[in-house]
Structure 1
């Protein structure tokens, strides 16, 4: 049997979910071996040696031991290397258009994560306005290139695979920041796109409860397995399983919940 590439990843990581969506769309769910990395513990020296000291995940290791980093690079590699229809558009102009939309993902993701991690209440308004403005940019792009459609093109494709995991992670903004898009016409097109992305059958690897519970520490300003002050267990801990824990408190600017209140001990 031919050896599979290995992807080292963090549970519930949006950048790893992109790869899972790709595999689902291509009918190649078993073509890659996923190896979970516990971010609440120091990195395995063997993994650090493979990655030449970098800690960002996911990372793909080919059967020959070659290392590929950055989720979009891995996504494109798997799209080209695995059997099945290409996720990206085959027409060069259409591929350029989808890449222009993909290029907007970085600032969009950053704005959402900065908002959930913000600890200064009076900065909420400014940060919320920034994210809403970026949603408006997405709406404008979609209206220009496919005003009456659902996705960027006729089907769920590369841009949707890139953005859908971020839309899902932003459930933490709905929960911890009471964030919602304004109900105005200028957000109608991006709202249709977002809803179709969230409901696509190939993108159901995670759910709202899992994201809200695991990302509680992000809402306290502690990302990537870091411990908030006064805590001894990360909300990203594997045990107890997230399903066995209570929902965290929605109020992120008040007194933070203890390990006990979060069901972590």
Structure 2
């Protein structure tokens, strides 16, 4: 297995993607919390191009970008497969990962921004959510009935979005407007309780970013 270190942030959905993959595979690792306001020499050395987390260091070699790391973990370590075995299903999973990577930022912006910018991003977020709602019709997860790569990529929607909604008072996904996506989120959390970060701790961390709601 070798020496495995993860440079990340406990509250980051991108770090959590990698932690989740490591836990699924049963890999022992050292988590090294980072300070993005005072980036460590190890982070700057391990990711000199983007200088951001997460970074996986395996036997002294660094791998960057969360979903690239997840695939590396799946291919490198023994344990349950994260990518589907069927070539078509693997391609489908990678398609949805790419879609989510390209579109997911609009969700955060639709909550964190204000005024016209917020409304513009909320419209983009809703268009993306409609696409996902349609894709999840009659499906438990993004690729059939098995939790996998695309679902890990969508962890912002499954966990962090709910925290943001509660902290801000802005509701994007409800059982009325996106029943399939709402059902997927519940299934996601119920099936994977052992891997999820503490919702209460995430809420405590993000609540100060919404002072109006906190009052």
TM-score by length of 2: 0.86
Structure 2: distance between partners of 1:53 and 1:126: 31
Call closer, same or farther: CA 1:59–1:80 in 2, change over 3 Å. same
Q: 2:38 aligns with which of 42, 62, 66?
A: 42
Determine if contact 2:111/2:170 at 8 Å carries over to the other structure: no
Unaligned runs of 5+ in 2: none
| SS across alignment from 2:6 | strand
Distance 2:148 2:110 in 1: 28
Pairwise CA distance, 1:139: 1.4
- Choose which of 44, 50, 63 in structure 2 pairs with 1:54: 50
- Give the whole-Å Cα distance in 2 for the aligned partners of 1:49 and 1:74: 17
Larger helix share, 1 or 2: 2
Among 136, 139, 142, which residue is 2:136 paired with? 142
Q: Distance in 2 between matches of 1:50 and 1:104?
A: 27
Residue deviations 1:221-257 (CA, integer Å, cap 9, x gap): xxxxxxxxxxxxxxxxxxxxxxxxxxx6515xxxxx8
Count of residues in Structure 1 that have an aligned counterpart in Structure 2? 213
CA apart distance, 1:122: 4.8
* Greater C-alpha Rg: 1
Equivalent-residue separation in structure 2 for 1:123 and 1:75 (angstroms): 33
TM-score by length of 1: 0.71
Quick check: 2:100–2:154 contact (8 Å CA) kept in 1? yes
The Cα of 1:44 is off from its aligned counterpart by 1.8
Query: Which of these residues, 159, 177, 181, is aligned with residue 150 of structure 2?
Result: 159
Select the residue among 193, 205, 214 that pairs with 1:214. Answer: 205
Which stretch shifts more, 200-209 or 93-102? 200-209
Instruction: Work out whether residues 21 and 202 of structure 1, in 8 Å CA contact, stay in contact via their aligned partners in 2.
Output: no
1:64-107 CA distance string (max 9 Å, x none)? x2211100110000011111121100110011111222122124
Equivalent in 145, 162, 168 of residue 176 of structure 1: 168
Question: Do residues 193 (structure 1) and 184 (structure 2) align?
Answer: yes
